[in-house]
Amino acid sequence: MKQWLKDAVFYEIYPQSFYDTNGDGIGDLKGIIEKLDYIKELGCNALWINPCFDSPFKDAGYDVRDYKLIAPRYGTNADAKALFEAAHAKGIHVLLDLVPGHTSEEHAWFKESSKPEKNEYSDRYIWTDSCFSAGDGMPFIGGETDRNGTYILNFFKCQPALNYGYGKCREKWQMPTDAPGPRATVEAVKDVMRFWLDMGCDGFRVDMASSLVKNDTHHKKYTCAIWRDIAAMLDKEYPEAALLSEWNQPRQSLKNGFDMDFMLEWQGNGYSWLMRNYDGAIDSDPHNIGKAYFCADSGTGIDKFLDDWLPSYKATRKDGLYCLITCNHDTIRPSAGLTPDELKIAYAMLFTLPGAPFVYYGDEIGMRYLPLPTKEGGYFRTGSRTPMQWDNSANKGFSTAAADKLYLPVDDAADAPTVAAQQADPDSLWHTVQGVLNFRHSHRDLDSDAPFHVRFAPKAKGSYRPFAWERGKLICAVNPAREEAELPLKLEDGTRVLHVIGKAEVKGDELVLGAQSFAILG
Ligand code: GLC
Ligand code: CA
């Protein structure tokens, strides 16, 4: 476990929408540099920046055209270097977003690979051997290139799959993972990683990390082997660099080289249960609002979350961190279904469970999900990608551009939350987030890898919904319901309430926890 991850709290930045310093309507790297003090003050000491590389932006930058060039709209490579340096000077680590599964169809490798003449990049992507062949179950494109073959896609049409080979080869155009083409792809990815690590970044969030090898049916055996190989390179050459996967399978990711994996929102899973639990997450109109555990009136217990999260946590707690997020750029913001009071205690729980927590920019003020037309392949996700709301000046302080020149419209509702307003209000969500994160940083028992045990989690009966957990000598407890609750925690003499949101009181050996309250005892 890398030492810096013990106390790491991440802030995810969608660079398009964070802060625009040159008035062109889109966020930039200089804007991130200017806001580092803000991020630090909030209580975050690490960043994950969504892809900021040269791209035609058909998938918001997840379609990389040049892995080694900062997209001009965000600045220059020199700005990236300046960002790493400024961040480090403030004790902030920076993860970039590595997209190893595919590139843009405009990447120079793909252009070379599309040529009929055999060349260095012919096997960099997965090609069939005829312009009429289907993709053996994978999505494919034909008829677009002079090369007589179809190519396999990894995500959207603009994202051809890089060739890491096949776990099980069924067609003669499929290569085993140890063939020269697939091996060269792995080395090319290592080369990209070295490029940014040498410049000063601290690691990578890895996009679709499980997607590398195709037909990799046996527990992703071959994809896992690639990640072990890459992690071994990092251990040797960059021992402090961190690897974080978009995988949502910690038993695979954390046991095969990743330091961290995410628990992601999938309809009906344990994470969804906490703050969303609605259907329709893919049509920009979430239904069933009010069903989440943290909704005051949902009547649900914590069990569905624990049933999913706990076995994975227990199976991997020695291997790495299974991380909880407030949201991300692919997910509907939690404020769509939770009130600010509900968000306060939901975040407090996420920030005091094991793992390194992730705050998605703007969630600290409860920024809203805005149903908007799609932008850069965002579709329903676009509504979670709007400009950060700094203050009540023009464009909510995001940019000095004319409103119609902005990357996306700002939330112009009269009561749209802003950083400035919430910093001025001691009861705001912003201050609640800051309070819990500060508490976390000053207690080693809340380190990302410090012990965790369930203390009290009765199956939901009627409205009885509180949940309590131990972190070393500390006990944390949450009560999302509208009724006060008595938790029979068998507290030791002298146990005190150290931090509270709402109301909490120790009575004898019990904790009396107010409605919609959270407390840390010790
Ligand atoms: C990941 C990203 C998402 C992107 C996709 C394809 O899921 O988080 O935003 O569209 O991969 O790269
Ligand atoms: Ca700009």
- Digit-by-digit pLDDT tens for the chain (522 residues) are 899 999 999 999 999 999 999 999 999 999 999 999 999 999 999 999 999 999 999 999 999 999 999 999 999 999 999 999 999 999 999 999 999 999 999 999 999 999 999 999 999 999 999 999 999 999 999 999 999 999 999 999 999 999 999 999 999 999 999 999 999 999 999 999 999 999 999 999 999 999 999 999 999 999 999 999 999 999 999 999 999 999 999 999 999 999 999 999 988 899 999 999 988 666 778 888 899 999 999 999 999 999 999 999 999 999 999 999 999 999 999 999 999 999 999 999 999 999 999 999 999 999 999 999 999 999 999 999 999 999 999 999 999 999 999 999 999 999 999 999 999 999 999 999 999 999 999 999 999 999 999 999 987 666 579 999 999 999 999 999 999 999 999 999 999 999 999 999 999 999 999 999 999 999
Q: How far is the CA of 283 from the centre of ligand 2 (A)?
A: 30
Q: State the pairing for strand pair 242-245/260-262.
A: parallel
Ligand with the closest atom to the CA of 74: 2
Residue ranges and CATH numbers for the domains of the chain are 3-99+263-441 (3.20.20.80), 102-163 (3.90.400.10), 451-521 (2.60.40.1180)
Residue 329 alpha carbon, nearest atom of ligand 1 = 9
Spell out a b/e string for 3-30, using b for 16 or more CB atoms within 10 Å of the CB, else e.
Answer: ebbebbbbbbbbbbbbbbbeeebbbbbb
Beta bridge partners of 511: 487, 506
Ligand 1: distance of its center to the CA of 208 in Å?
A: 7
Write out the two tokens for 517.
Answer: 């309250």
Q: What is the pTM of this model?
A: 0.98
Distance CA 132, CA 141 (A): 10
The rounded Å distance from CA 13 to ligand 2 centre is 14
Position 284 scores a pLDDT of 74
For residue 102, the ligand 1 atom closest to its alpha carbon is 12
* Residue 54 near residue 61, CB atoms below 8 Å: no
Burial of 413 (0-12, 13-18, 19+ CB in 10 A): exposed
Q: How far is CA 23 from the centre of its chain?
A: 28
Strands 504-507 and 510-513: antiparallel
Among the bound ligands, name the one nearest to the CA of residue 75: 2
CA dist., res. 10 & res. 230, Å (int): 23
CA–CA gap between residue 80 and residue 230 (Å, rounded): 23
With the most atoms of ligand 1 within 8 angstroms of its CB, the residue from 52, 64, 98, 155 to mutate is 155
* β-sheet bridge partners, residue 360: 12
Whether 9 and 357 have beta carbons less than 8 Å apart is answered as yes
Q: Percent helix, strand and coil across the chain, each rounded to 5? A: 30, 15, 55
What's the confidence (pLDDT) of residue 287? 84
Distance 272 CA to ligand 1 centre (A): 18
Give residue 159 CA to ligand 1 midpoint distance, Å. Answer: 11
Pocket of ligand 1 (CB under 6 A): 59, 62, 99, 155, 207-208, 246, 329-330
Ligand nearest to the CA of 31: 2
Query: CB of 212 within 8 A of CB of 223?
Result: yes
Token readout for 521 is 């005892």
Distance CA 389, CA 398 (A): 6
- Write down how long the chain is: 522
Long-range contacts of 217-220 (CB under 8 A, 24+ apart): 217/167, 217/168, 218/167, 219/252, 220/249, 220/252
